[in-house]
Amino acid sequence: MKIYVTGSATTAFGELWNASPRGLARQAVFGALADAGIEIADVQALFVGNMLSGMLGGQEHLGAFFAEELGLTAPAFKVEGACASGGLALHNAVNSVMSGQYDTVVVLGIEKMTDHKPEDVATALMGAGSEEERSGGATFPGLYAMLARIHMREFGTTEEELAAVAVKNHYHASLNPNAQFHNTLSVEQVMKSSRIADPLKLLDCSPISDGAAAVVITSKKQKKAARRVEIAASAVATDSLGLAQRKTLTGLSATQQAAARAYNLSGMTANDINVAEVHDCFTIAEVLAMEDLGFFPKGKAAAAIAAGQTTVGKGGRIVVNPSGGLKGCGHPVGATGVKQIVELVDQLCGVAGKRQVEGAAVGLAHNVGGSGATSVIHILKK
């Protein structure tokens, strides 16, 4: 059975003070429905990816909450997997269609974070960490800083090379009208920004954001003229919540395993990917992803990114995070995994405007929960 994305839409990402979760959901979902050329009555199920609604908003029953807002009486589900909630919602939606239970469903990823105090948001986000890490006062900048230090020790990665990731992704975000940031950066600006958790600085870190994104997926045969992109693979893997329990800290095992499954399911390799949206919650996270996904050998990604190099295989040049990634586009945690799919659909359909990747035919989305406890990989193709 083949499953297609036939409609997609995203709101702007950022500090959306005048937007409510209800309004963001309506904008994203009805935008995706219009793109697919269908009505809400055609939707057989709704999957909502969200992490923080209970902790920050006091509302856990998001399936029914948004179904009511959208005028939908079909089955509706909330899916939570930390910052991988959006990707997991899509994975569950794909499985539901593969099973034959439904043939047309909507996946909504959404988060409203900026209405709350930063310390409350940081505490809520650490709900994705281990008990030992929380009791020790760790935060995710601190945890990823540890990963960065280990990568530096093992492979000679430098702070300037990490800064180059932020420079690249802010440039891409400057071309994306829906991105949170439109300012470009220099390596010097990143290096001079405040240190958050050494060696990570403020401009190595993705922001607190609001936003929503939605996609329509279906197994129904579409008209030849219909815009559609095939989901060639959907794979998930998990690891320990905490860093201390892992066998290695120079990569994320869950990403490696999920990528291997996705490549196997799709019959593709890393060399077939033209465009990728990877989970750059911190600059070191993109470096790890580029190696874990097989785009670069272990220890080689940071220097290659800093030098502006890209891999070349059967698919040719690969462009990573053309949306601006989490760093430049923003990171409303439950929405990120779905936004990645929206970006890939735009790229594969050739409608990404100034950030269009020439010749994009195969795309990969990589969405991570916590410090790598959950990893979701999707491969899309024309």
Which positions are annotated as active-site residues? 83, 331
> Got the DSSP string for 127-192?
GGS-HHHHHTT--HHHHHHHHHHHHHHHH---HHHHHHHHHHHHHHHHT-TT-S------HHHHHH
Nearest-5° angle of CA 38, CA 331, CA 282? 140
Pinpoint the alpha helices (H) of the chain: 21-36, 53-57, 62-70, 85-98, 118-125, 131-135, 140-155, 159-174, 187-192, 253-266, 283-292, 301-306, 325-329, 333-349
The tokens describing 274, both together, are 């033209």
Angle between helices 21-36 and 62-70 (to 10 degrees): 60
Q: Which residues contact 247 (CB under 8 A, 6 or more apart)?
A: 253
H-helix or E-strand spanning residue 5 = strand 4-10
Torsion angle in degrees (nearest 10) through CA of 222, 227, 230, 235: -120
